[in-house]
Amino acid sequence: MSATARKTSPLPDDIRSMKGGTPIVSLTAYTTPMAQMMDGICDFVLVGDSVGMVLHGLPSTLGVTMQMMQMHGRAVARGLERSMLVIDMPFGSYEESPEQAFRNAAKLMRETGCAAVKLEGGTHMADTIAFLVARGVPVMAHIGLTPQSINTLGGYKVQGRDGTADRLRADARAVSEAGAFSVVLEKVHAGLAGEITQAIPIPTIGIGASPDCDGQILVVDDMLGLFTAFKPKFVKRFASLGEDVQAAINAYADEVRARRFPAAEHTFSDKAPG
Ligand code: KIV
């Protein structure tokens, strides 16, 4: 392992204090084995609602449920000892009222042991963020392209162009003042992402934003080349595992049909040992 590994899991306040320092490293995870590989290398691991598209074949994140987040949250928690766990609040679980948000955030924390929740929205979610933080729920905010609002945002467009920069600046200020310990900036043009990072006291975590953000996050299946249905420009593939998996499945099928697998070394004789 070449990356420096953490010895203990940070808390939300530790992540907050990384503002302006060595960039914060994070990835999504949905399963125990993947979480184990990231443990101590990522500062935090997010069980993103991207799980719906990446693992469940949904067309968007809108169909993701609390049950899905709890199940994947528990799986990832079993794989982490040295990275902080953050879980996404799914669409419909927090927008109605601060009380609804608290009830569901508390459920996620109780059931999974996560250290924090993430929710989408800026100015209009500030009261909810303040309500949660005052009651012991650390909140990571998520502004810019917020996939749960895709039907009102008008598609997966770069955010901050066409006169929307002031709204984004206000969103960043609002979530910071409400007490969020960090904020994800998704698909925000690089100049604005850098400017917001300078302007607010909490760390910005970029995805399709700017290297000037205080940290970066990617969907793990995107960066491993496992999710290949589409590839946003901001994704860098650090591996091509999808191609390797496909080649292995093809080779297995060929060998079974040709009776080359299983070979002698994979079968048992009537003599012990073996
Ligand atoms: O659901 C997710 O994976 C996310 C990241 C893209 C930030 O919210």
Find the 271 Cα to ligand 1 centroid distance in Å: 53
Q: Is the pLDDT reported for residue 117 higher than 70?
A: yes
Percent residues over pLDDT 90 in the chain: 89
Residue nearest to atom 1 of ligand 1 (CA): 48
User: How many C-beta atoms lie closer than 10 Å to residue 222's C-beta?
Assistant: 23
Give residues (CB < 6 A) around ligand 1. Answer: 28, 48-50, 88, 142, 184, 207, 217, 219
Q: From the alpha carbon of 28, which atom of ligand 1 is closest?
A: 3
Please, what is the average pLDDT of the chain? 96
With contact defined as beta carbons under 8 Å apart, do 85 and 47 qualify?
yes
Query: Looking at this protein, which amino acid is placed at residue 162?
Result: D
With contact defined as beta carbons under 8 Å apart, do 54 and 221 qualify?
yes
Q: Is the pLDDT reported for residue 273 higher than 90?
A: no
With contact defined as beta carbons under 8 Å apart, do 60 and 120 qualify?
no
Domain 12-223 is found in CATH 1.20.1530.20:
no
Find the 121 Cα to ligand 1 centroid distance in Å: 13
User: 3-state DSSP call for residue 216?
Assistant: strand
Confidence label for 272 from pLDDT (cuts 50, 70 and 90):
confident
| Paired residues of 181 in beta bridges | none
Q: Is the pLDDT reported for residue 153 higher than 90?
A: no
Find the 142 Cα to ligand 1 centroid distance in Å: 9
Strand locations in 48-181, DSSP E?
84-88, 116-120, 139-144
Average pLDDT rounded to a whole number, residues 124-151: 97
- 222 closest CA partner among 233, 212, 211: 233
Find the 274 Cα to ligand 1 centroid distance in Å: 47
Cα 89 from Cα 66, distance rounded (Å): 7
Residue nearest to atom 3 of ligand 1 (CA): 48
Active site residues: 186
Question: What tens digit of pLDDT does each residue of 213-261 get?
Answer: 999 999 999 999 999 888 999 999 999 999 999 999 999 999 999 999 9
Cα 149 from Cα 133, distance rounded (Å): 23
Q: From the alpha carbon of 217, which atom of ligand 1 is closest?
A: 7
Q: What is the pLDDT of residue 1?
A: 47
Question: Among 47-51, 85-89, 166-170, 269-273, which is the least confidently predicted range?
Answer: 269-273
Find the 66 Cα to ligand 1 centroid distance in Å: 16
Token duo for residue 59? 């067309």
Q: What is the pLDDT of residue 246?
A: 97
Residue with tokens 């766990």: 85
Cα separation values, 153 from 94, 112, 195, Å: 19, 31, 22
Residue nearest to atom 8 of ligand 1 (CA): 48
With contact defined as beta carbons under 8 Å apart, do 49 and 30 qualify?
no
Q: What is the pLDDT of residue 2?
A: 62
With contact defined as beta carbons under 8 Å apart, do 91 and 83 qualify?
no
Token duo for residue 105? 């955030």
Question: What tens digit of pLDDT does each residue of 24-59 get?
Answer: 999 999 999 999 999 999 999 999 999 999 999 999
Q: What is the pLDDT of residue 238?
A: 97
φ/ψ (deg, to 5) at 200: -115, 155
Q: From the alpha carbon of 50, which atom of ligand 1 is closest?
A: 1
Q: Is the pLDDT reported for residue 93 higher than 80?
A: yes
| Paired residues of 84 in beta bridges | 44
Cα 132 from Cα 96, distance rounded (Å): 14
Query: Which of 50, 72, 87, 220 is the pocket-test mutation for ligand 1 (most atoms within 8 Å of CB)?
Result: 50
Token duo for residue 149? 């609002």
